[in-house]
Amino acid sequence: MNIGFIGLGNMGAPMAANLAKAGHTVIGFDTAGTKAEGVETASTAEATATEADVVITMLPNGAILRAVADQVIPAMKTGAVLLDCSTVDVNSARAVADQAEAAGLGALDAPVSGGIGGAQAGTLTFMVGGTDQAFATAQPLFEVMGQKAVHCGPSGNGQAAKICNNMILGATMIVTCEAFALADKLGLDRQKMFDVVSTSSGYSWSLNAYCPAPGIGPSSPADNDYKPGFASELMVKDLGLAIEAAKSADADTPIGQLALALYTKFVEEEDGRGRDFSAMLPRFERRGHRG
């Protein structure tokens, strides 16, 4: 396929490079001037779109997505697909999809899970909203860039799946860190706690696959001085999107709101910025019953 790729950052560049390596013709653009291996560079966002069968975007937020959509949608050929892999608010995703469909284009919102390592290895998971036809067009690209793509329903549902997942992730990581700090103060060995909880009803991905305690369970950022696999400020972004969506949908999310407040404080007032979201554990180690 002919592919336009807009947003060649830490995630976008390896995704675009993997598509080029697989034999697709990829033209890329990034406002910072970054490039990707095997990808031709365009001078404008519009220039990536004119001959593209699929235009892929990987952008920081919904406002930028809307601005880029205003630029590229008029330049795209009828029947092409606008595939947004950014993590943005649900309303922006649906507004851009409506705009694309009104112009005779397909539209997909397809945020990803798997981080920079997954982008490089081509093992991302895509959560996809949009029509069956657009999903079928993009399916071969998902297979190159990732290991799994789940069609979650109409436009916006990919973003909905991502923020619901990450609200669970943020909250469970916090309580996992609390539990390790509590175990320490009760004199319970961390390894013994892990051995019990990892095979009991407290089992979770945050504990079993991404343990915040160094030297416990599989290797994780905790074993690398909490250098980010998933930075705390990105968790703040995703929890913020979840709470924004909850307000819009009149959904009650008190634990999600508390997780956002704790991570926001961790990043803005404590030492969380630039650290993995599991670095909440040393934070709780330092604190007593009343914080």
Active site residues: 162
Q: Which long-range contacts (CB under 8 A, 24 or more apart) does 215-219 make?
A: 216/190, 216/191
Listed in order, strand segments (DSSP E) in 9-78 are 25-29, 40-41, 54-57
Residue 144 one-letter amino acid: V
**Alpha-carbon gap, residue 185 to 189, rounded angstroms:** 10
CA distances from 109 to 93, 126, 135, 281 (A): 6, 9, 10, 34
**Alpha-carbon gap, residue 286 to 291, rounded angstroms:** 9
Q: Is-contact 171 205, C-beta < 8 A?
A: no
Q: Is-contact 235 243, C-beta < 8 A?
A: no
Crossing angle for the helix pair 90-102 and 232-249, to the nearest 10 degrees: 70
Residue 290 neighbours by CB under 8 Å, 6+ apart: none
CA distances from 74 to 5, 25, 119 (A): 16, 21, 29
CB atoms within 10 A of CB 222: 24
Output the CA torsion sign for 213, 219, 176, 241. Answer: positive
